[in-house]
Structure 1
């Protein structure tokens, strides 16, 4: 069994017209549907802003600009039956290809090669699909007037 550790994570919301871009997925143990912005782990020696640019290039094959830190969250959770602890830097940025904002979803690939479909969602979508994670993110975005 792996030693428990705190993971440093960078996520990007790409807010646009009251919506943000999220990956919708199910917890394999609870079958609960969750919504999470795109991003991933920050590597040793890498700044969070560089991590988000790298992750978006790896996952979507897209370049981004105007990366800005919105805030930081601490997340304690259980996923796939295992406890997790993350320090999450939450970013906003712009896709260099503006046409991406007009598409209902974007095709992507996880680091393990599994395909996923990221979609644009607003607050009402999280009420019907499943919660936005990490915990506290929806309140942060609402407080910043980025999500209704």
Structure 2
């Protein structure tokens, strides 16, 4: 992770009270967590374009990027290493509505799987949602 700040773009895709996330694991913390899909913004790339590129790379899916919901600063430790991100969080939707019928989707460039998780699981604290501050951003709706 190094000692630099990483700008990222994340997409909030919604389905009947759920959001699309991938499940991650930090064995150092002994923690299972969830995070919306997206990724690092490349130099010269607009954050909306990052989201479209990342969904093509991760799910071979096209998304329409909507409203910027917020910008979150996340200073954290992952697997014992320090990290610092600035996350642009956008509403987004699949162009192909058939993707909403899939309960799980294999992420193509990672061993993880994307799945729909009830927002209430994050709001009541039974599941951890990153980046920090995203649960509060979603609960302000």
**Among 131, 134, 138, which residue is 1:134 paired with?**
131
Confirm or deny that 1:93 pairs with 2:92. Answer: yes
May I ask how many residue pairs the two structures share in their alignment?
139
Confirm or deny that 1:55 pairs with 2:54. Answer: yes
Confirm or deny that 1:124 pairs with 2:120. Answer: yes
Change (3 A) 1:19 1:143: same
Moved over 6 A (4+): none
Which TM-score applies when normalising by structure 1?
0.87
CA distance in 2, matches of 1:86, 1:133: 11
Deviations 1:77-113, CA, capped at 9 Å, x for gaps: 1101011111000011110111111211111123xxx
Deviations 1:102-131, CA, capped at 9 Å, x for gaps: 211111123xxx322111112333333x30
Confirm or deny that 1:33 pairs with 2:32. Answer: yes
CA distance in 2, matches of 1:123, 1:65: 21
Deviations 1:29-57, CA, capped at 9 Å, x for gaps: 22300100000000000000000000000
Which blocks of at least 5 consecutive residues in structure 1 are unaligned? none
Check whether the contact 1:24–1:35 (CA below 8 A) recurs between aligned residues. Answer: yes
CA distance in 2, matches of 1:66, 1:132: 21
Higher strand share: 2
CA distance in 1, matches of 2:2, 2:113: 32
CA distance in 2, matches of 1:40, 1:31: 24
Which blocks of at least 5 consecutive residues in structure 2 are unaligned? none
- Match of residue 69 from structure 2: 70
Provide the secondary structure at the position in 1 that maps to 2:54. helix
Q: CA RMSD in A?
A: 1.5
